[in-house]
């Protein structure tokens, strides 16, 4: 349902970094009206797409690029990192920030990592290097958490990933390419110029309106026979994020097969 749209978004995007001037609330779920009831009752693909297979294929087919990084002074952290640390009850002094450069782009990224995070700096940066720059460009900050919610508490498990503005926050359990594509899709939903042009065309205010809340996207979903995952029923935003995740995977797989056929 989204192949042509995804190709247009991913492969025609020029480099346009997104630096959020303020930190808005987490992307809200839309209120459920008649259209949302239709979404909630829509079937998902059967048999379900295999997430483990997807991650293995993406690791094989999305090649890493060289990366370099330089740590910030220990007295400084990005405002997004400070905000999330405070929101989750962490001690901000347990985080370290780094300026990161990938060989496929002259601009830098800013990442934060908790000192007790499961993945090392090198593991984190290598994984993110596999995200094509046309998508990676939309991440302004990435924050890697330790395997618990609050360093000052009894350490309940922290098993999630979420997006706030153009910042992605992840626990170790959700740090994989499939989830990264899903979270980047949330950023695309509100920040991609191509999609925001469609928001304007729908007569809705740009900047704060997700593309997934437009009649354009909702008609696409309504006309299709199934959603990509059961989780896509949660909201129009989640339906878009999972469609991007699995749609991009499909595009990548077709590209690999075409290349393999050409080499025979």
* DSSP classification of residue 28: P
**Sequence spans of domains, the chain:** 3-258
List C-alpha distances in Å: 189 to 93, 100, 181, 204. Answer: 33, 25, 12, 14
Listed in sequence order, the residues at least 6 apart from 25 whose beta carbon sits closer than 8 Å to its beta carbon are 164
- Residue 37's pLDDT is what? 76
Q: What pLDDT, on the 0 to 100 scale, is given for residue 67? A: 98
Please report how many Cα atoms fall inside a 13 Å half-sphere around the Cα of residue 142, on the Cβ side: 24
**202 Cβ contact list (under 8 Å, min separation 6):** 214, 215, 216
- The reported pLDDT for the residue numbered 14 is 36
| Chain centre distance of CA 44 | 21
- Token pair, residue 72, equals 């910030």
| Distances in whole angstroms, Cα of residue 238 to Cα of each of 12, 73, 75, 81, 232 | 23, 37, 37, 24, 5
Q: What is the pLDDT of residue 142?
A: 97
| Preceding peptide of 18 cis, ω within 30° | no
* Helix, strand or coil, per DSSP, at residue 157: coil
State the number of CA atoms in the 13 A half-sphere of 146 facing the CB.
Answer: 20
Residue 45: which of 214, 189, 242 has the closest Cα?
Answer: 242
Residue 24 has a pLDDT of 35
> Torsions phi, psi of 167, nearest 5?
-105, 135
**How far are the Cα atoms of 46, 54, 144, 166 from residue 178, in angstroms, in the given order?**
19, 7, 16, 18
Helix residue ranges per DSSP H, the chain: 3-12, 34-40, 51-61, 79-88, 121-129, 133-136, 177-191, 193-201, 215-223, 236-263
Please report the pLDDT score of residue 2 as a whole number: 46
Quote the tokens at residue 242: 């999972």
Stretches in the chain below the pLDDT threshold 70: 1-36, 149-159, 255-264
pLDDT of residue 20: 27
* Residues 78 and 110 sit within 8 Å (Cβ to Cβ): yes
């Amino acid at each position: 349902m989204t192949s042509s749209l995804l190709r247009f978004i991913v492969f025609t995007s020029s480099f346009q970094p997104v630096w959020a001037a303020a930190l808005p609330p987490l992307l809200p779920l839309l209120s459920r009206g008649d259209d949302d009831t239709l979404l909630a009752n829509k079937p998902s693909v059967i048999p379900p797409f295999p997430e483990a297979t997807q991650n293995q294929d993406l690791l094989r087919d999305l090649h890493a690029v060289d990366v370099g990084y330089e740590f910030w002074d220990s007295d400084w952290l990005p405002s997004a990192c400070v905000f999330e640390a405070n929101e989750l009850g962490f001690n901000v002094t347990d985080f370290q920030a780094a300026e990161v450069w990938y060989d496929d782009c002259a601009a830098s990224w800013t990442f934060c990592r908790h000192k007790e995070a499961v993945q090392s700096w090198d593991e984190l940066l290598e994984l993110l290097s596999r995200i094509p720059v046309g998508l990676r460009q939309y991440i302004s900050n990435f924050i890697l958490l330790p395997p618990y919610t609050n360093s000052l508490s009894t350490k309940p498990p922290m098993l999630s990933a979420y997006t706030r503005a153009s910042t992605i926050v992840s626990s170790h359990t959700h740090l994989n390419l499939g989830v990264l594509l899903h979270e980047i899709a949330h950023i695309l939903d509100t920040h991609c110029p191509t999609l925001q042009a469609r928001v304007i065309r729908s007569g809705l205010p740009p900047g704060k309106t997700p593309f997934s809340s437009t009649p354009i996207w909702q008609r696409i979903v309504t006309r299709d026979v199934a959603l990509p995952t059961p989780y896509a029923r949660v909201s129009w935003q989640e339906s878009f994020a999972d469609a991007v995740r699995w749609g991009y995977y499909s595009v990548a797989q077709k590209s690999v097969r075409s290349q393999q056929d050409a080499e025979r």
